[in-house]
Amino acid sequence: MSLRDVAVRFIPRHTRLGRIAWAAGRRFFGPKILVPGTLGDVFLMVPPSRLSVAALHAAGFPTSVRIDRSWPVKPGDVHRSHGYHVAVIEIGADPGLYLNAYRAAFIASSVVLLDVADISPLLWRLRGLGDPLGYRAAHIARDVQDSLGPDLPEEERFGLATVAHLARRTKFLVVPGRGLTDQLRTLGSLTPASVIAPGPDAAASLSRVIQETLAMVTDPAHDALELWAGALADMGIQDTGADELPGISYLRAMETFEGTPSNLQGQA
């Protein structure tokens, strides 16, 4: 008989002693809640052939920034990714390789390197496993896919809508083609997106993106600015720039806030 079975049998949970015992068990033996930054600054969940720590440092990335990596992404890395300020995650369409990476993208402040324009196979695999994330993502994608109009086949529109749902949870999105950025804008996505082709020159561009994202999420004003930018998006105010780095939309939101009549009262 396990220790848990003994506790359940001899210390009923509904009693006062049981409530104290269960609370203590969760406190000392339950899963720990990670705070961003407690494990490090950057968590690379990318194949070494795509991006390595050495390539980032060679491109001028600060050596003082702590970088950890893991590939392929394991189930434990999903929860662990929340303990970093920024997670750099590669996502493709193969459920066997990218399912945990997709889950991590919804937990961490992430820079996503997207390899395909349709990630619906990941959603169907999640639904097959009974994961609520798959049901939620598919439901939202169905709601927004009609924004693309009838020119595209339904399957293609749904695939683009699943990418738009992923983009809403990321800080920066690296996409495989220029046309995808325009389609994401059509779906109302305000997430900064850019085309950075894999190759020897990609490390310099990705280094710049990661540094900008890291500076944004570690800024004390980030949370307030993110709430304000979300409020602007809910009101239908959209950013027309397709290649802006993270933080630009937040700066514009703050400038808008500072220029409102309620904040100009009493000023000369």
Could you tell me the residue ranges of all domains in the chain? 1-30, 40-218
CB 60 within 8 A of CB 207: yes
The amino acid sitting at 93 is A
pLDDT at position 157 is 83
* Helix %, strand %, coil % of the chain (to 5): 55, 10, 35
Model confidence over 96-133: pLDDT tens digits? 999 999 999 998 889 999 998 889 999 999 989 988 88
The amino acid sitting at 72 is P
Which position has the token pair 């395909």?
Answer: 116
Model confidence over 210-240: pLDDT tens digits? 999 998 888 766 666 666 666 666 665 555 4
Radius of gyration of the chain (CA): 21
Of the pLDDT bands very low, low, confident and very high (cuts 50, 70, 90), residue 147 is confident
pLDDT at position 263 is 40
Which position has the token pair 């059509």?
Answer: 186
Closest of 226, 228, 235, 227 to residue 263, by C-alpha: 228
Closest of 100, 89, 75, 79 to residue 43, by C-alpha: 89
- Whole-Å CA distances, 186 to 7, 182, 183, 214, 261: 56, 6, 5, 27, 31
pLDDT at position 78 is 92
Residue 81 has, within 13 A of its CA and on its CB side, a CA count of 28
pLDDT at position 242 is 38
Closest of 68, 170, 74 to residue 119, by C-alpha: 170
Mean pLDDT within 258-264: 44
Q: What is the mean pLDDT of the chain?
A: 78
**More confident position, 148 or 176:** 176
Mean pLDDT within 174-186: 84
DSSP-derived secondary structure letter, 54? H
Of the pLDDT bands very low, low, confident and very high (cuts 50, 70, 90), residue 265 is very low
CB 125 within 8 A of CB 134: yes
Fold type of domain 40-218? Rossmann fold (3.40.50)
Phi, psi (5° rounding) for residue 86? Answer: -140, 135
**More confident position, 245 or 171:** 171
Mean pLDDT within 165-172: 88
Residue 137 has pLDDT above 80, yes or no: yes
Q: Cα angle vertex 130, ends 125, 135, to 5°?
A: 75
Tell me the pTM: 0.71
pLDDT at position 244 is 46
